[in-house]
Amino acid sequence: MHGLIVTSPSLYEQDRYFLKTRLLFFCAISEAGSLSYASKVFYHLEKLNLFVYNALIRGYASKSLPGQGSDYCPSLVLYGQMLRDGISPDGLTFPFVLKECTRRVDCHMGMAVYSHVVKFGFDCDLYVQNCMISLLSECGFLGYARKLFDEMPERDVVSWNSVISGCLRNGEPDLALKMFKRMDKRSIYTWNSIITGTVQAGRPKVALELFQEMLVAGNDGVIPDKITIASVLSACASLGALDHGNWLYSYLKRSGLEFDVVIATALIDMYGKCGHMDKAAKVFRGMPKKDVLAWTAMISVYALHGYGKEALNLLNEMDKEGVKPNHITFVGLLSACAHTGLVEEGRRCFEMMQHVYSIEPRVYHYACMVDILSRAALFDEAEKLISGMLVEPDVYVWGALLGGCQMHQNFQLGEKVALKLIDLEPQNHAFYINLCDIYAKADRFNDVKRVRAHIQDKGITKVTPGSSLIELEGIVYGFSVQGSPKIMMEELACVLSELHKEMKIVQCK
């Protein structure tokens, strides 16, 4: 087509120029286009106008550019060139320039662009304001984002989605839920944001409740998609809500949603965490194509249930299939070795990760390796590994060593490690309890009293109370040491009373 535009004798120059600009627009915007080709067309045009600048800026801002460094930003370069050419931006220019600043998390550049927004009179433009909310939220300025949102003369569903996503991104799930409840109209993006956000914020039960609400709202034309299902499956995995997970599997089949690798991976994770390893393996083996996340999910399931050799066999299968493991894969493999006492295999995985797959060990890899060695009472090797770490050991690394000390009653090293943990997190109630446990087993009861007195004097309390979850007839119930619903506690009291009576009878016999 480009060749015809250039060579056709029947075209006037004005028509030829018009067709070239449309060709540039296609190459820049279409999935079937080419940004590099669009750029070549751009720089060979006889004259440049706002339309072609906007098209190319939009193309670069909307597509990721693999292989380019973090300083490579053609959309911002083009914007600067446009200003130097004396061409004034419009309401189509600014959203994509701001989008580029958001992707780069460059608030300094974003505010500079916003000064141009004000200068050229687009500060009340709905699309520009929505982009500014996203930019401010991404840069951590949630207060300014909310202020801009509150002062908007008009808002659309994108405005609400942007501020809700900002709340979730900045660790404000309660605020996000409040904003969500205020919305009159919700898109599938809104539902997916709030459900995924609550799962990631550690509130899977709230996510399930929101999903139920979404199904009721389906009469308004909003129906779950693959992202929704994957997020809700993750919530089911966290809660151990197998009935909900099975229902979702059935819903997938009924709805005709594509059973892709993301959904399958979420199912593997859900079945594994709900204790149904056979179903997880069946889903895994039934996948026609598996990516590294699917392999890692199945390895993690084997690790969770103590099937170390099966997890290691999957690594061999991955190698045959040409799938390269990532750093999370090795967390699963090392955990599997720890749970099944495979010390030599753990050492081999740790070495292979670095020298075969060129993956630098991170702090959680060291924690897994220390766990393997500590469980096997190889304390000298564990301490040597910690002293040679390339990163600063955290509470998980020291905690793994402490666990081994308690298991093998290495009181001397255990005391040293527990005191180290207390230095790292002096308000963590669990570390004091661990130290008391060590002193008690070593018959150092005066030290136990001293530590308990210190806990009381400093007002150190358990931040997160112990709790359990159980699913019964599709309903997830929570039990906490701080108390549960009155009816539930009365029923529990009756059960405990009956158990106590039966234990007395057995004891008498």
Residue in the block written with tokens 């402490």: 402
CA 195 to chain centre: 13
Does residue 421 fall inside a structural domain? yes
Task: Supply 461's token pair.
Answer: 């309390």
Distance CA 382, CA 373 (A): 6
Angle between helices 126-138 and 107-119 (to 10 degrees): 160
The pLDDT-based confidence of 16 (bands split at 50, 70, 90) is confident
Token pair for residue 187? 């898109």
Strand partners, 467: 480
- Do 444 and 381 lie in one domain? The reply is yes
Does residue 445 share a domain with residue 392?
Answer: yes
Question: Using DSSP, how many helices (H) and how many strands (E) does the chain show?
Answer: 28, 2
* pLDDT exceeds cutoff 70 at 482: no
Residues 445 and 489 in one domain: no
Q: Which amino acid is at 300?
A: S
Identify residue 234 by its one-letter amino acid code: S
Please give the full DSSP string across 368-425, using - where no structure is assigned: HHHHHHHHTT-HHHHHHHHHT-SS---HHHHHHHHHHHHHHT-HHHHHHHHHHHHHH-
450 and 480 co-located in one domain = no
The model's pLDDT over 263-310, given as tens digits with 9 standing for 90+, comes to 999 999 999 999 899 999 999 999 999 999 999 999 999 999 999 999
Whether residue 402 lies inside any domain: the answer is yes
Query: Do residues 302 and 342 lie in contact, with contact meaning Cβ atoms separated by under 8 Å?
Result: no
Res 412 pLDDT > 60: yes
Output the average pLDDT for the chain.
Answer: 88
Max avg pLDDT among 68-82, 213-227, 246-260, 354-368: 354-368
What pLDDT score was predicted for residue 67? 44
pLDDT digits (tens, 9 = 90+) for 83-142: 999 999 999 999 999 999 998 888 899 999 999 999 999 989 999 999 999 999 999 999
In a domain, 153, yes or no: no
Q: Which residue has the higher pLDDT, 412 or 475?
A: 412
Tally Cβ neighbours within 10 Å of residue 190: 21
Number of domains in the chain: 2
CB atoms within 10 A of CB 506: 8
The pLDDT of residue 72 is 65
Average pLDDT over residues 216-234: 83
Is residue 474 in a domain? yes
Which residue range forms the structural domain that includes residue 486?
468-509
Instruction: Indicate whether 422 belongs to any domain.
Output: yes
Do residues 401 and 482 both lie within one domain?
no
- What does the CA dihedral 223, 225, 231, 234 come to, rounded to 10 degrees? 100
Q: How does residue 466 score in pLDDT terms, banded at 50, 70 and 90? A: low
> Would you mind telling me the total number of residues written for the chain in this entry?
509
- Residue type at 108 in one-letter notation: H
In a domain, 73, yes or no: no
- The confidence band for 330, taking pLDDT boundaries of 50, 70 and 90, is very high
440 and 373 belong to one structural domain: yes
Distances (CA, A) of 427 to 402, 406, 423, 424: 18, 21, 9, 9
427, 492: one domain = no
Q: What is the CA radius of gyration of the chain?
A: 29
Per the CB < 8 A criterion, the answer to whether 257 and 226 are in contact is yes
Helix (H) or strand (E) holding 217: none
- Residues contacting 82, CB < 8 A, separation 6+: 48, 50, 53, 57, 89, 93
pLDDT for res 6: 83
Cβ-based neighbours of 265, under 8 Å, separated by 6 or more: 230, 291, 293, 294, 297
Over 93-148, what HEC string results? HHHHHHHHHHHCCCHHHHHHHHHHHHHCCCCCCHHHHHHHHHHHHHCCCHHHHHHH
Q: Are residues 371 and 456 in the same domain?
A: yes
- The verdict on 370 and 438 lying in the same domain is yes
Asked if 392 and 408 sit in the same domain, the reply is: yes
Domain containing residue 410: CATH number: 1.25.40
Q: Are residues 454 and 480 in the same domain?
A: no
Q: Within a domain: residue 477? A: yes
Rounded Cα distance between 294 and 302, Å, is 13
pLDDT band of 69, cuts 50, 70, 90: very low
Please give the Cα distance from 388 to 182 (Å, whole number): 53
Query: In terms of domains, do 431 and 487 share one?
Result: no
Residue 95, burial from CB neighbour count under 10 angstroms (0-12, 13-18, 19+): buried
- Residue ending a domain, among 463, 480, 495, is 463
For the stretch 148-184, pLDDT in tens is 999 998 899 999 999 999 999 898 999 999 999 998 8
Does the residue 381 lie in any domain? yes
